[in-house]
Amino acid sequence: MNDVPIAMAIHGGAGVLTPGLLTTQDESDIHETLRRALDAGQQILEAGGSSLDAVEASVAVLEDSPWFNAGKGAVFTDDGRHELDAAIMRGSDRNAGAIAGVHHVRNPIRGARAVMECSEHVMLIGEGADRFLVEHQLPQVANDWYDTELRRRQWQDNRLKGGAPTLEPSEADHRGGQDDPAPGHKFGTVGAVALDRHGHVAAATSTGGITNKRYSRVGDTPLIGAGTWADDRSAAISATGHGEYFIRAAVAHDIAARMRHAGKDLEAACHEVVFQELKALGGQGGIIAVSPAGDTQLVFNTPGMYRAWRDRQGRRHTAIYAKDDRVHD
Active-site amino acid positions: 189
Query: Whole-number minimum distance, CB 233 to ligand ASP, in Å?
Result: 25
200-259 residues in contact with ligand ASP (CB under 6 A) are 207, 209-210, 219-221, 227, 240-241, 243
Of 34-42, 96-104, 183-191, 195-203, which segment contacts ligand ASP by CB under 6 A? 183-191
Does residue number 73 form part of the binding site for ligand ASP (CB under 6 A)? no
The torsion defined by the Cα of 15, 21, 25 and 28, in degrees rounded to 10, comes to 30
145-164 residues in contact with ligand ASP (CB under 6 A) are none
Sign of the alpha-carbon dihedral angle for 212, 215, 216, 221: negative
Dist CA 38 CA 327 (whole Å): 13
The H-or-E segment that residue 242 falls in is: none
Identify the burial level of 160 via C-beta atoms within 10 angstroms of its C-beta, where 0-12 means exposed, 13-18 middle and 19 or more buried: exposed
Q: DSSP letters of 104-117? A: SBS-HHHHHHHHHH
Query: Whole-number minimum distance, CB 243 to ligand ASP, in Å?
Result: 2
217, 226, 258, 274, 328 from 250: Cα distances, Å: 17, 4, 12, 11, 34
Does residue number 13 form part of the binding site for ligand ASP (CB under 6 A)? yes
Give how many residues touch ligand ASP by CB under 6 A. 16
Query: Whole-number minimum distance, CB 12 to ligand ASP, in Å?
Result: 9
Does residue number 101 form part of the binding site for ligand ASP (CB under 6 A)? no
Our CB check for ligand ASP shows the closer of 50 and 302 to be 302
Query: Whole-number minimum distance, CB 328 to ligand ASP, in Å?
Result: 25
Does residue number 304 form part of the binding site for ligand ASP (CB under 6 A)? no
Q: Which residues bind ligand ASP (CB under 6 A)?
A: 13, 69, 167, 187-189, 207, 209-210, 219-221, 227, 240-241, 243
